[in-house]
Structure 1
Amino acid sequence: MSTGKISQRIQYFMEKREIDTCKLAEATGLDTKFIETMLSANIYPPLGPLIKIARTLGVRLGTFLDDQQTTDPYIVREADRTANFSVLAEKNKPASLNFFSLGMGKTDRHMEPFFIEILPESATRKTLSSHEGEEWIAVVQGSIEVIYGKETYILEEGDSVYYNSIVPHYVSCKGAVKAQIHAVVYIPE
């Protein structure tokens, strides 16, 4: 899915709910300039801000990701997995995270499962975010740093973490080699 489709979907729901960028910024606590840039430059935001936008617009996070509908069970083969979106380290900088949605076709889901490549660029600027819900992460390859509130944790291959995402947090690569994780995000309705 292209980033353009995501910004188009956000704009569609903004128009449908009669919410302009100023109202969206106020309701989400996000900077107006950030929202304007995200929409006009087709920049994919980190999950925290995207979840806040989805909640404010009254839709599931998956509404911005879904391109198709399937029946149960929904299976994603590793060979068929493709990056759905990337989060930039900064505007006009290389990607810091590549997200592969593992539930995109399951329209009645309550969780958002991902396979994520966390690139070393993710450690350059550590901006904590928070949102309602819970997250679970398991390290498949490499090492990651998890900042959770005022604490910092280093996780290695095989380690996992489960936390309440209302606490400000940030996940980045630890070291010069990309890390790979499985992550599940749950957002209550």
Structure 2
Amino acid sequence: MQSPPGGHPPDLRTPVGESTVELPDVAPRLRDLRRRRGLTLEAAAQRAGLSPAHLSRLETGRRQPSLPMLLSLARIYGTTIGELLGELSPERDPIIRSGSREPSVADGWTYHQVGTPGRAMQPLRLVVPYGAQGELVRVHPGEEWLYVLDGRLRLTLGEALHELGPGDSAHYESLTPHRIAAATREGAEMLFVHTLLQSPDLYPHV
């Protein structure tokens, strides 16, 4: 979830509808992380493929970030979604018990953290309702793997369109433009793993 803006073309990672779910702690954390990285609002927005105005709305809480935006900003700031949400686990317990973490919701997607924050590989269990973020196109370094648990999923990789059902999986380079959406009105549930790649300057999107 796209080409860097050159005069700010349409932002493919920006969902059409506003999220109604509150993530109150994310906004100030996004601002603090940007400042700690020594990035201006304009520089960070350019690296994320957003307009400065849109990033400003995310940092002030006037707009809620979607999951693709959180993934992108986490990579740029050299952190993880868990840390963006304040889910720090200094002891790095390798066991995550069922029900030990509350799920988070952003722009229609429900995602459960099923891994330990701060690691290069980030696993999630995602619930994707029909129509949510269906037009978001993502391009970023790394790899992604997904496994459909329930429902049917539509995965676009470059120009190829694939429909996956329960038991189907996909493993692909995430520099390939890709889009994930539920294929049926019942939605879909999947396991999702992506790598958090950090370049030496912490700006892998450039």
The two structures share one fold, judged by TM-score above 0.5? yes
1:136-166: CA deviation from partner (whole Å, max 9, x where unpaired)? 1000000000011111100001100011111
Say which SS state the counterpart of residue 35 (structure 1) adopts: helix
Q: Partner residue of 2:131?
A: 121
Q: Partner residue of 1:160?
A: 169
Pick one of 95, 98, 102 that aligns with 2:110. Answer: 98
Cα distance between partner residues in 2 of 1:153 and 1:59: 31
Cα distance between partner residues in 2 of 1:26 and 1:71: 33
Cα distance between partner residues in 1 of 2:52 and 2:169: 35
The one-letter amino acid paired with 1:87 is A
Q: TM-score, normalised by structure 2?
A: 0.76
Give 5+ residue unaligned stretches, structure 2.
1-21, 199-206
Give 5+ residue unaligned stretches, structure 1.
89-94
| Larger fraction in helix | 1
**Change in 2 beyond 3 A, CA 1:161/1:67:** same
Q: Partner residue of 1:44?
A: 65
Pick one of 106, 110, 129 that aligns with 1:87. Answer: 106
Q: How far has the Cα of 1:108 moved from its partner?
A: 4.4
Tell me, yes or no, if the aligned pair for 1:139 and 1:155 is still in contact at 8 Å. Answer: yes
Using the TM superposition, name which of 59-68 and 170-179 deviates more: 59-68
Cα distance between partner residues in 2 of 1:140 and 1:116: 10
The one-letter amino acid paired with 1:167 is T
Pick one of 120, 132, 148 that aligns with 1:110. Answer: 120
Pick one of 23, 28, 38 that aligns with 1:3. Answer: 23
Identity of matched residues, %: 21
Pick one of 15, 30, 33 that aligns with 2:35. Answer: 15
Using the TM superposition, name which of 60-69 and 21-30 deviates more: 60-69
Number of aligned residue pairs: 176
**Change in 2 beyond 3 A, CA 1:81/1:141:** farther
Tell me, yes or no, if the aligned pair for 1:51 and 1:131 is still in contact at 8 Å. Answer: no
**Change in 2 beyond 3 A, CA 1:184/1:81:** same
The one-letter amino acid paired with 2:154 is E
Cα distance between partner residues in 2 of 1:178 and 1:82: 20
Q: How far has the Cα of 1:82 moved from its partner?
A: 2.7
Tell me, yes or no, if the aligned pair for 2:80 and 2:118 is still in contact at 8 Å. Answer: no
Matching of residue 150 in structure 1 with residue 124 in structure 2: no
